[in-house]
Structure formats: C-alpha cells, structure tokens
Copies of this chain bind each other. A is one copy, B any other.
Amino acid sequence: MMQFSRKLDIARGKIELSHGSGGRASAQLVNEIFYPAFANNLLSAGNDQAIFPSPAGRLAMSTDSFVVSPLFFPGGDIGALAVNGVINDLAMGGAQPLYLSASFIIEEGFSFAELRQIAENMGATARSAGVMIVTGDTKVVERGKADGVFITTAGVGVIQDGVNLSGDRARPGDSVILSGSLGDHGVAVMMARQNLGFDTHVESDCAALHELVAAMLATAGPSIRLMRDPTRGGLAATLNEIAQQSQVGFRLREADIPIKPDVTAVCELLGLDPLNVANEGKLIAIVDADVAPALLAQMRAHPLGRDAALIGTVVDDAHRFVEMETKFGGRRVVDWLSGEQLPRIC
C-alpha cells in the first residue's frame, strides 16, 4: 500500500482530471477507494493484469456496460447492478462466476463520497456472491463529457462438464419458466428518475442469480435447454431473440405471468408494457416439459425463485412469433420494441 502525504477528503472531495492521469493522483484514488472496497490480493498486487489458476472445464466470459440514471435507486445502485449484471450473464451460460474486472469512466467533478459508496456496494455485492473483482481501470473525462460515472464489468466463470446451455436449443414442446415477477427494476429506476412520488413502493430486483442457477442445474441439468435474464427490452426482447436463435415460436399465458400490482399500476399510468420493462434479478429457463413441474417446485424453495411460474410453451412457428393468450381470452403478438421506451435503465 502506498503512502500519500494527505489522505483523500472523501466527504468533500471531487474527481479531477488528474485522477485519470495515470500519475500520483490516480494511484491515490485507486489505493484509497478501490483497493479497500474490493479487498483482495489479486487486485491489490497492483499489476496491469490479475493472474489466477486456470480452472478445469470450459470457461465463460461476458461483459456489460452500465449507464443507469439515476445512479442510486430503491433496491440498488449502478455498482450492485454492474456486479450482478455480469454474474448473471455468466450464470445464464451455466457458469460458476469466479473473477470480475471493473472499469470506471468518471466525469470530472464527481464526488469522492458517491464513488466510494458505489465501490463499497460493488465490493459487498461481489463478496456476498463469492466472486472477486481482480483487475480494473479508471478514466476521467471533462465535465459534460460523461454523466457522473459509467461502469463496465467483465467476468470469467467455469462451466461444469455436461452443462450445455445455448440460445439455439429451444425445441417445440419445451416449457418456459420465469423465476419471478416482471418489471420491478425498470419501474423502480423510472420512478427514482422522474421523482413521480406515487404512493407505491417498488424496489429493483437487482440480484445475483448464480446460486439459483446452480441449484437448478443440479436438479435438472441436461433437461434445461437454456437460460437467459430478461434485462433491457424485458421478457419480450428475450423471447424474440431466442425465437430467432432457435427458429421456433412461443405461446405465453398472460394469466400465468407474475407481475406485482404496484408494477402493473405504474406501467398503466406511464403507458408501459411490463413485458418490455427491464429486470435485473429474474431468469427465464426453457426446459424439457417433463422436468418442468419438479424444477418449478425446487425453484420456489429458493428465495430468488419464490414466485417462479410456468408461463408458456415453445411451439413450431415459421414466423418465429411470440404470442400470448390474454387474460380476456384473446391472443396478441408480443413483439420487441423498435423504439426506446426507457433509456439508461441499466
């Protein structure tokens, strides 16, 4: 650990361009904010790269950038989102997440206090998920050339033999399982952003799903075709993507899709379709219909799968349509959005 003549004034200090210079100020920022928050020897070795043993098996690698606005919202913040987001992308491939990188693009004038809070949330989120943030970078851009802070995480995980999940494996007859209620994250961020002040309390579902995934794989491994987390674009975008990759269609039952009453109410007021709204702690699994009931029961026993539901079926469809039987007995196509309803939701 390096010594500096004066410690950073966390309570009142702000990011300056010099904190991105690669010089002494950069070193102090990393030493006094990131090393203590992320707390592991691979990172604090202070090399340009982290080095660790190569695990046996196949590796998964993923990355995501986070530009959410506002940075803090009920149920989470950009830091927790950045850690859980990349963990979930790895978990959806059936991987056990192991090592993360974190890179920060910070606007000049951003407060040390908020940066430290974000870093501490990242460290805590990583520790509770059993992963390490082992390497990183910090860049600073002039005032007005970014918006507070943007964070990009990347992650590496290991996949056990026999686990083969991929977006092209859905087959007609398969069941579609959703791990819980839709729209919580998007609605929580939207309400925080617009300061709507409705008399409702919706929290982001921001959570790391890898332990739920590990439990599901242990029970139903080879019968799970694929998993995916319906983030930006929501369930609608995710299922349309899979329909293209697997060359199939979907039939959903609206009555079976869990959505909290408060989320439904806010979506109605704002003119949003909850099927397009982002989630940050939910997954969909496409599974062999034979294992669906047992898998569902097991998921409901896990805190992150308590509201899991069987919401539909994979069908043969030359048009690759996602269709839904509505609560009123009709049927509608669930298309993905072509415009942007909720910019900067993650």
Mark A residues whose CB is within 8 Å of B.
Answer: 2, 16-18, 20-27, 45-67, 88-90, 92-93, 95, 99, 101-105, 134-142, 144-147, 150, 152, 154, 156-159, 166-168, 228-229, 231-234, 236-237, 240-241, 244-245, 276, 278, 336-344
Contact = CB atoms under 8 A, between A and B. Distances in A.
Contacts of A26: 232-233
Contacts of A158: 54
B341 A49 contact: no
A152 B65 contact: yes
B45 A62 contact: no
9 contacts: A17-B340, A24-B338, A45-B168, A54-B54, A65-B105, A65-B138, A139-B344, A142-B344, A156-B156
A228 B49 CA distance: 10
Given A154-B154, A166-B47, A343 B147 contact: no
Nearest to A99: B61
Given A21-B339, A89-B49, A340-B17, A139 B67 contact: yes
Instruction: Tell me which of A61, A99, A158, A159 has the highest count of chain B C-beta atoms within 10 A of its own C-beta.
Output: A61
A243 to B, nearest CB: 10
Contact of A141 (B20, B147, B276, B278): B147
B105 A150 contact: yes
A335 B144 CA distance: 31
A233 B23 contact: yes
B18 A338 contact: yes
A211 B46 CA distance: 24
A55 to B, nearest CB: 6
